[in-house]
């Protein structure tokens, strides 16, 4: 069981950057990380950081981060008092649900992320994004609310 009340909040501008990256990667899987803060049961995203998909033999339905790039992004976020709170990847022409591979990867990973976002990209356009969290017994990925936040937008510069 996942405790009630967890939610992922993403500013609309961040969501649009995420969308652009996943659409640009089509028909291959594209990936990235969400950087932000965790306040109680709310994960507040500040930034989306595109990451390289290092899978070469079947990048249309698999992704893997570059370990060094991951570490660099993580350190850079921590240096600013933020953290990687979630990871994102696309499912080209497939539903926005974790595959068995995704679930196993989440269960086996030594890194534990709070949010696993999966986005369906259909014919080059992102149709939907959903977020999941590893259940407490680490047995499966359970869906949680993904909120697009208009209020969290940064004020315009100047
Ligand atoms: Zn997947």
Q: What's the pTM?
A: 0.90
- Ligand 1 center–CA 57 separation, angstroms: 15
- Ligand 1 center–CA 69 separation, angstroms: 20
- Ligand 1 center–CA 39 separation, angstroms: 27
CA distance 56 to 146: 31
Q: How confident is the model at residue 157 (pLDDT cuts 50, 70, 90)?
A: low
Nearby residues of 5 by Cβ (< 8 Å), 6 or more positions away: 41
Provide the 3-class DSSP secondary structure of residue 95.
coil
Listed residue (87, 70, 73) closest to 31, CA to CA:
87
Task: Give yes or no for a cis peptide into 10 (omega within 30° of 0).
Answer: no
Give the tens place of pLDDT for each residue, 97-110. 999 999 998 988 77
- Ligand 1 center–CA 29 separation, angstroms: 8
- Ligand 1 center–CA 105 separation, angstroms: 10
What pLDDT sits at residue 112?
Answer: 73
- Ligand 1 center–CA 59 separation, angstroms: 11
Fold for the domain defined by 7-147: Cytidine Deaminase; domain 2 (3.40.140)
Question: Could you write out the three-class secondary structure of 98-151?
Answer: CCHHHHHHHHHCCCCCCEEEEEEEECCEEEEEEEEEECCCCCCEEEECEEEECC
- Ligand 1 center–CA 156 separation, angstroms: 35
- Ligand 1 center–CA 102 separation, angstroms: 5
Give the tens place of pLDDT for each residue, 56-104. 999 999 999 999 999 999 999 999 999 999 999 999 999 999 999 999 9
- Ligand 1 center–CA 101 separation, angstroms: 7
Residue 4 pLDDT > 80: no
């Amino acid at each position: 069981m996942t405790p009630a009340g967890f939610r992922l909040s993403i500013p609309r501008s961040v969501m649009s950057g995420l969308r652009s990256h996943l659409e640009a990667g089509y028909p291959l899987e594209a990936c990235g990380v969400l950087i932000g803060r965790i306040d109680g049961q709310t994960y507040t995203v500040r930034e989306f950081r595109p990451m390289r998909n290092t899978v070469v033999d079947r990048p249309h339905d698999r992704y893997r981060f570059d370990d060094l790039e991951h570490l660099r992004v993580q350190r850079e976020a921590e240096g600013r008092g933020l953290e990687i709170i979630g990871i994102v990847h696309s499912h080209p022409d497939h539903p926005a649900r974790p595959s068995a591979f995704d679930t196993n990867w989440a269960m086996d990973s030594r890194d534990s992320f709070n949010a696993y976002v999966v986005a369906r990209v259909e014919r080059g356009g992102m149709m939907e994004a959903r977020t999941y969290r590893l259940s407490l017994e680490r047995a499966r990925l359970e869906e949680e609310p993904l909120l697009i936040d208009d209020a969290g937008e940064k004020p315009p510069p100047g």
